[in-house]
Amino acid sequence: MKLKSERHGSVVVLELRGKVMGGPDATVFRDELKKHLDDGIRKVVVDLGKVDWMNSSGLGILIGGLTTVKNLSGEMKLARTTDKIQSLLMITKLVQVFDTHDSVESAIASFSE
Amino acid sequence: MKDETKLIIPSDPARLEEVDAFAERWMDGMPFSEDQRYDIAISLSEAVNNAIEHGNAGDASKKVTIILTPIDGGIHIKVSDEGGGFNPESVADPTEPANLLSESGRGLLIISHLMDEVKVEPCKAGTCIELVKRFSSSKAS
């Protein structure tokens, strides 16, 4: 997995790429998220548009991120979930947990002021 | 038809990429669709993760063995660990509201949706997960 982050005002967009399969990926994601949270960022978008596939460990990484952000009274949203990832969210009923958006722009625009 | 192939790795999640590349290379030329290849890759990673984390309890001295076998109309995958045994019945339903925010416990649920056959049972050294995916499979994520 590769991860790139970009700030858009008070929002950080974490773009994941490749295969998200757990192991070292969890540390990479957690460390990058922590860096932005330590800077005071509380609005997070995870862009999944360039993810080839993700397994349950990848879903666990996202849930861990969501819990961390929520515990700091922040919000985390998913953007550009591929059909494969959307299907996994349906199978696992995690559609009930994540706020998903078709584009990064709409995810950014959806944050409460 | 391809020959059966085997890979043995230590219980280290960092080796998952190697397992994925091993299976991808071996499946090259097989008439699976791209979606079916993803289903196999996801399921194999789940089975290996399960063997590392639950079967072998992360003990790097214990091995995980992956055997890929061509069968008539598809492939058979066997992943075995050297742990003390794993009871799939003991896994809490990850779709229950109380478990939705759990960071683990979804692997077998996902495998069962993606593969045509799934069998988890005790074997010689620990637990074996056997999976079948057919070229004609309509099951997909």
For residue B140, the model assigns a pLDDT of 61
In a domain, B121, yes or no: yes
Q: Residues of A with CB below 8 A from B109's CB?
A: 56, 91-92
Q: Give the total number of structural domains in chain B.
A: 1
pLDDT computed for residue B138 by the predictor: 73
List the beta bridge partners of residue B117: B132
How many domains are there within chain A? 1
pLDDT band at B105 (very low <50, low <70, confident <90, very high): very high
Tell whether A113 is covered by a domain.
Answer: no
Dist CA B123 CA B113 (whole Å): 24
ipTM: 0.91
pLDDT at A22: 83
Residue B140 covered by a domain: no
- Mean pLDDT for all residues in chain B: 92
Residue A36 has pLDDT above 80, yes or no: yes
> What CATH number does residue B94 fall under?
3.30.565.10
Look-up of token digits 């584009």: A103
What pLDDT, on a 0 to 100 scale, did the predictor assign at position A113? 58
Nearest residue on chain A to B96, alpha-carbon basis: A93
Q: B96: domain range? A: 5-134
- Low-confidence winner among B5-9, B79-83, B90-94 (lowest mean pLDDT): B90-94
B68 three-class SS: strand
Helix or strand (DSSP H, E) at B114? helix B107-114
B139 falls within a domain: no
Tell me, yes or no, whether B104 lies in a domain: yes
The CA distance from A87 to the nearest CA of chain B, in Å, is 6
Between CA A101 and CA A94 the distance in angstroms is 14
Calculate how close chain B gets to A102, using CA atoms only, in Å: 19
- Which pair of structure tokens corresponds to residue A63? 């849930």
The CATH number that applies at residue A24 is: 3.30.750.24
Q: What are phi and psi of A41, to 5 degrees?
A: -70, 135
Q: For residue A92, what are the domain limits?
A: 2-108
CB A104 within 8 A of CB A80: yes
